[in-house]
Amino acid sequence: MKCIYLLLSLCIVSFANAQTTKSSLDSALVKKEQQKFTEGIKLCEEAIALDNTSIDAYFYKAGFHTALINKRNAGTDYKNYKAAIANYSKVIELHPKHAEAFFFRGGAHDAMGFLNDALADYKQSISINVNQPEVYNSMGVCNAKKGNIDIAMSYFEKAIIFDPTNGKAYSNKGNIYDMKHDLTNACANWKKAIELGYTGNQRRYTAKCK
């Protein structure tokens, strides 16, 4: 009988912890919408203290640290970068086929200018799930930053193959054409991006194409 009571007590505690963990993570998502990233980190830490195997808690925490990389203070940026990488790596440790963790860890590398590390993680993400237009777009951006504009173009085109409504990829294609001094194709792609709802190059299109 004592064993039954003990088991029941453990189940109750486990359920209570699970509910508290979920509550903390739900609150963290609210902080994300409010762009209160430091508060979001604290909520994720509370969730991890209750359940150190919570993939979502590490994943959200990493995202908050990445969002705090703002190019204003090199020391603070690097601290947040290291924390982001550590938390994304924990997600991957718990779930080695977590394609999003590889993608977003690549984004953290990219935010700090570590382009080769970013590309390595993007490729790992694609190896898990080939149908990720946003990853191809990010790979194109990295290659453009490295000066590999033809390779960049191929990735933007691949992003569009997987998602013909990807306005960001069309916009980036326009940028590559602009770098090649092909204004006709640059304008065509910027226009397509705007038609799809992506306005990142609206000013450039207005200035150069009208």
The model's pTM: 0.88
pLDDT category at 12 given cuts 50, 70, 90 is very low
20 pLDDT more than 90: no
Helix axis angle, 133-145 relative to 115-128, nearest 10°?
160
Model pLDDT, residue 6: 41
Domain boundaries, the chain: 24-129, 133-210
Q: What letter would DSSP give residue 131? A: -
- pLDDT tens for each residue of 109-152: 999 999 999 999 999 999 999 999 999 999 999 999 999 999 99
Q: Which among 64, 62, 51, 59 has a CA at the least distance from the CA of 23?
A: 51
For the chain, the average pLDDT equals 91
Model pLDDT, residue 2: 46
DSSP 77-96: HHHHHHHHHHHHHHHHHH-T
Count of CB atoms situated within 10 Å of the CB of 162: 16
CATH of 24-129, one of 1.25.40.10, 3.50.50.60, 3.40.50.980, 3.40.50.620: 1.25.40.10
Residues in Cβ contact with 90 at an 8 Å cutoff, skipping those fewer than 6 apart: 58
Domain 133-210: CATH architecture, name and number where available: Alpha Horseshoe (1.25)
pLDDT category at 93 given cuts 50, 70, 90 is very high
The whole-angstrom separation of Cα 164 and Cα 88 is: 30
5 pLDDT more than 80: no
